[in-house]
Structure 1
């Protein structure tokens, strides 16, 4: 069910502690906003000097108010913060919004103070947003305790940046977007992003959730909450660099960047990941009304060849298709357009719109009705006639009126179908385009934005959700080569026969236990191949002994592994690994493996553990997936067996949080199963 945040968003009463008549103080801005609710609930001002604030009597303390306070907004200097919190809790506050800064963001001492306050809040059964936040607003309950006013609408914004919220407000306005809620996350000492996301998912007034976060806290819990939200979640995040990979000790660690982890978590959870406030706005505008395309086929409608070609390129660059229209559709278009119009796709009116603005509406209707079309992008001059009362060619008021009527007809056609329609116009603020926007048709000035919007409505890879974590297993204390191998074998992974040896006598005894050819590996080296610590294809005991003497003289390893050489002729070498991310926990990687794993970089990521069906899907999404099905006379490999091995490895890793990195490389996928040829694990360093 999640935490009860009702007192945070719809309190019985509000007190602003630190309210002030001084416009330079944040308590002034909060107080001015709080009284906008027009009597929805009692609003009390607290100022230690008493007097009046904004013409209202201010109490010198919360206790002096003389009645219970449901929500306390605390905007006082850091030195008095704890005292204000304790008084609020004594007065029965069920929720606190802590504006005050000077805690975890300042270092260890501030973090300790913050944690102590959060413990007292939780012990009292209350909830707290912040500290170090900018407040919140809920337009559905007329709760205004942030410094700015937010246009009402259906988007809940959960943000670590106040200025970003102001920018989004400006970007939302042309698209008719507004806010159901705004919450400044602050330090998340008590109420977290995950708590707020879950509450907004339950909130009837919220249609979509926008998140700006630099710190996810528990990233896996965020992904789980987003996957279960039942509403669009769009994430803008920063700090997705590759610094985390620099100190890695395995191929998996070296290949896994923070960006990969965030992308994988968002894909698993069905979150729309964007890179800029502009993209975030595009994604939300495209999702207005809940329209989703059933496929990725786009019809482009233009009134000029240049716009059509550019739009077609932008659509394809966004990962969508611009297919040639079928003959029945083209024939219907020919019957309504003039001879010089192009009807293949892009559909080009070729000047007919100047003579007959209704041709836009008729063509949109035909394209939306076409079976081979999943969405429509209209691009070019539409909007210009009404914008300039005649526009191109001096058509005058009649042409402008005709365009406005065409806009009304297009809006009606749009309402009659579930297919998405997006418009790019040179005149997005024109009366005709505003008519379209008012009908829920996204209108953009940039072609690439219109294409990106259509991509947001198109079906992508189905999100799989986040698989539940297995129960924690008994921690591993040794992760040497043989210990890791034995642990993975116990988890269900199949390895070739192997024996650990320390001298020539043990070496020859091992060779007598199973037939060659053999592999010899120097142990206690993390990257054995790089150090020349692996010898393959040793035909018999004599070759094995010679290789041992040469390797031991050069490396002097304390022990070696003698292994049966696998038949590589019909196999494909894969890599399967799990890296522990500090925010998202166990993150799995699968890809083409062997000694060229880093060079080829044909890999995919997902949160661990990875069920076998999900693993098979990831393998088939690799660029080189065609190799798995057999090429140039080679047989297909057993993908189901490889996927089962991925499940075993990733489930094992997820059950062992003490492991920082683990990988099997190569995992040999063969026609008759899957065989692990090498493995390594690295324990996490103590905190």
Structure 2
């Protein structure tokens, strides 16, 4: 269970299983939306009342229509609106007056069309909410519930099953409805959310989380209205034992954000989305093909509990390709222990068995069975990836070949090890038998490996931490004020003294002790503008440099600072950005003046605790430097983690802070000091 303060209570059972439904805009013209909605809803009529509303009266699908919602014999629990956009507002008013609890607005022509459409959409939403009702859409294509026999859709013909689909695209639902039967899978619930004027993707995930007929929730998302809430609801669904797959194309690259610091230039929506999925171990795919692979992996008899894969193939090329495919997916192909190698050598004395296992020329599936048994019982793998032809060259009967396949499947299932197969002869009876038993069987090892990774059991690396009561950041946000504010949050800074002129600068340097750093204030990126002078060792040089900076830059003042010199020092950046979709985030990166070039960074939702700050630090590509590399000294990562948590809490705690940054944070074996800071507030 997550540790946020939110309460999860999206009870939408009346929407997916209404006692009565009315269609405003029912039509007798085939091909029109009102015709299709009426047809599908009437097919589920034995379990609910269906009322058809048409201003002209008459019949639709041999069913009486009413000229007004007000004339219905009873209040409809759900109303479907499929009339032109100009008539939607009055249709909504009529539905609410009739007592509707839920409205599905199919009609397009709202916020997607511009400012006036957006205004009208907001007005309709407020009317619905004021009446205590809920709205799906507008600009959607309806919803489906297999158990309730509700097909409130147009042009959908969906197979029943246990997969829930929440989608910003009706077309994605249609495509999955076409493809899932080929995977022996089906749909429990589906909803096209449209513009999400009222009900959102997150709320539907909440409702699917408590649906007993839904085992897997898939969500297709193109935009993120409240990204943090989305992931809170995903956590909630997973805490209730639901699998969640996020079908999310690449997010936009920080469109419209003004860049005021290194941190802002480094973070995009895609960075945040990818990092959140990684830290919460959420399955994220970018296409229907990978979504189907993930669903097959989740539906397999056994799923990998880790990343260790044993590769078993019928030749050197097959072994190499399967090994490469596994590694490319982030899986591991570790060498077997000496004991397991010895056992495998006894079974296949002329084969290479160190992992991968190359049973060269062994096409008969029966040859593989004892190898699979030995690996599965060893505890040295989480999954087995088989790659080969696996045809019946030994002359065994079809029944015997299928029995061997079933035995291999049972060996893996009983050992708790996942099995994925790539075969050049997927039509062979043994392969068909494995596929029938839900073992993933593919034509190529790339697919088999990806299926293993996407179907792997996942445990979040962290839980989302609730924001504390936020407040506004007040006062100046210049350089020295930024240092003071972040120091108050817990970041340790080098010594610094403000100076208006050369005399004050000299006194400051004397109090700090030479060598010092002189910074001319007022520039956004001080190093880029030549506003920073390092390693000043005496007063004469200090006064000379100050005069030069005054003439060249016309600064608002100066900061005289301790010159931080650390043996084997590493420069880091710690920053926070209030992302428009995901809220407060924290980034850890290789720092200094070249931070944009290195682009070595890790992003997380803020705030983070020290354990997750350490995880972020150890995820950087430069992480090997922290432990001492080729004779350099180790650094105290726990101290660095405290700085990360301090910045993350600062950005999370202040609603009007859009960016906060420490760069560089100089980290050495004896000290961890911030030497520069920036805070940007929203207008």
TM above 0.5: yes
Question: Match for residue 134 of structure 2?
Answer: 127
1:370 aligns with 2:378: yes
Pick one of 484, 492, 495 that aligns with 1:494. 492
Question: Match for residue 78 of structure 1?
Answer: 85
165-174 or 448-457, which deviates more: 165-174
1:264-308: CA deviation from partner (whole Å, max 9, x where unpaired): 222233321112111111112111268442332211222343322
Question: Do the aligned partners of 1:156 and 1:180 also contact (CA within 8 Å) in 2?
Answer: yes
Question: Match for residue 288 of structure 1?
Answer: 299
Q: 1:144 to 1:246 in 2, by over 3 A?
A: closer
| Alpha-carbon separation, structure 1, partners of 2:428 and 2:102 | 46
Pick one of 99, 104, 107 that aligns with 2:111. 104
| Alpha-carbon separation, structure 2, partners of 1:362 and 1:34 | 55
Question: Match for residue 224 of structure 2?
Answer: 216
1:350 aligns with 2:360: yes
Question: Do the aligned partners of 1:291 and 1:457 also contact (CA within 8 Å) in 2?
Answer: no
Question: Do the aligned partners of 2:250 and 2:286 also contact (CA within 8 Å) in 1?
Answer: no
Aligned CA RMSD, in angstroms, stands at 2.2
- Alpha-carbon deviation of 1:191? 0.5
Q: 1:431 to 1:100 in 2, by over 3 A?
A: farther
1:610 aligns with 2:608: yes
Pick one of 193, 201, 205 that aligns with 1:185. 193
| Alpha-carbon separation, structure 1, partners of 2:122 and 2:301 | 41
| Alpha-carbon separation, structure 2, partners of 1:321 and 1:270 | 17
572-581 or 407-416, which deviates more: 407-416
Question: Match for residue 4 of structure 2?
Answer: none
Question: Match for residue 560 of structure 1?
Answer: 558
| Alpha-carbon separation, structure 1, partners of 2:318 and 2:89 | 61
Provide the secondary structure at the position in 2 that maps to 1:145.
Answer: strand
Question: Match for residue 199 of structure 1?
Answer: 207
Question: Do the aligned partners of 1:404 and 1:432 also contact (CA within 8 Å) in 2?
Answer: yes
| Alpha-carbon separation, structure 1, partners of 2:397 and 2:360 | 17
| Alpha-carbon separation, structure 2, partners of 1:124 and 1:430 | 61
1:50-92: CA deviation from partner (whole Å, max 9, x where unpaired): 2111122222222222112111111111111112111211222
| Alpha-carbon separation, structure 2, partners of 1:459 and 1:232 | 9
Provide the secondary structure at the position in 2 that maps to 1:287.
Answer: helix
- Alpha-carbon deviation of 1:469? 1.3
1:216-238: CA deviation from partner (whole Å, max 9, x where unpaired): 21011111111222122211223
Q: 1:125 to 1:379 in 2, by over 3 A?
A: same
Question: Do the aligned partners of 1:497 and 1:563 also contact (CA within 8 Å) in 2?
Answer: yes
Question: Do the aligned partners of 1:68 and 1:92 also contact (CA within 8 Å) in 2?
Answer: yes
Pick one of 276, 284, 291 that aligns with 1:265. 276
1:439 aligns with 2:437: yes
- Alpha-carbon deviation of 1:143? 1.2
Q: 1:149 to 1:653 in 2, by over 3 A?
A: same
Question: Do the aligned partners of 1:246 and 1:254 also contact (CA within 8 Å) in 2?
Answer: no
- Alpha-carbon deviation of 1:145? 0.8
453-462 or 60-69, which deviates more: 453-462
Paired residues for 1:159-558 under 5 Å: 159-230=167-238, 231-244=242-255, 247-288=258-299, 291-333=302-344, 340-354=350-364, 357-382=365-390, 398-428=396-426, 431-458=429-456, 462-558=460-556
Provide the secondary structure at the position in 1 that maps to 2:11.
Answer: coil
Pick one of 670, 676, 679 that aligns with 2:677. 679
| Alpha-carbon separation, structure 2, partners of 1:292 and 1:470 | 38
Pick one of 624, 629, 632 that aligns with 1:631. 629
Paired residues for 1:574-585 under 5 Å: 574-585=572-583
Question: Do the aligned partners of 2:587 and 2:602 also contact (CA within 8 Å) in 1?
Answer: yes
| Alpha-carbon separation, structure 1, partners of 2:611 and 2:140 | 43
Provide the secondary structure at the position in 2 that maps to 1:229.
Answer: helix
Provide the secondary structure at the position in 2 that maps to 1:113.
Answer: helix
613-622 or 631-640, which deviates more: 631-640
Q: 1:327 to 1:175 in 2, by over 3 A?
A: farther
407-416 or 653-662, which deviates more: 407-416
Q: 1:460 to 1:12 in 2, by over 3 A?
A: closer
Query: Structure 2 unaligned runs (5+)?
Result: 1-7
| Alpha-carbon separation, structure 1, partners of 2:371 and 2:50 | 56
Provide the secondary structure at the position in 1 that maps to 2:585.
Answer: strand
- Alpha-carbon deviation of 1:335? 5.3
| Alpha-carbon separation, structure 1, partners of 2:42 and 2:417 | 44
Provide the secondary structure at the position in 1 that maps to 2:46.
Answer: coil
- Alpha-carbon deviation of 1:114? 1.0
| Alpha-carbon separation, structure 1, partners of 2:175 and 2:375 | 36
Q: 1:209 to 1:70 in 2, by over 3 A?
A: same
| Alpha-carbon separation, structure 1, partners of 2:297 and 2:17 | 30
| Alpha-carbon separation, structure 2, partners of 1:431 and 1:143 | 39
Question: Match for residue 661 of structure 2?
Answer: 663
Question: Do the aligned partners of 2:401 and 2:429 also contact (CA within 8 Å) in 1?
Answer: no
1:629-669: CA deviation from partner (whole Å, max 9, x where unpaired): 22344332221111111111111111122222221001122
Q: 1:239 to 1:414 in 2, by over 3 A?
A: closer
1:384-435: CA deviation from partner (whole Å, max 9, x where unpaired): 55xxxxxxx6x77x54443223233333334423221112233445553342
Question: Match for residue 390 of structure 1?
Answer: none
1:34 aligns with 2:49: no
Q: 1:140 to 1:535 in 2, by over 3 A?
A: same
Question: Do the aligned partners of 1:300 and 1:346 also contact (CA within 8 Å) in 2?
Answer: yes
Pick one of 2, 7, 10 that aligns with 2:14. 7
Q: 1:482 to 1:100 in 2, by over 3 A?
A: same
| Alpha-carbon separation, structure 2, partners of 1:417 and 1:637 | 42
Question: Do the aligned partners of 2:363 and 2:388 also contact (CA within 8 Å) in 1?
Answer: no
| Alpha-carbon separation, structure 2, partners of 1:429 and 1:130 | 44
- Alpha-carbon deviation of 1:459? 6.2
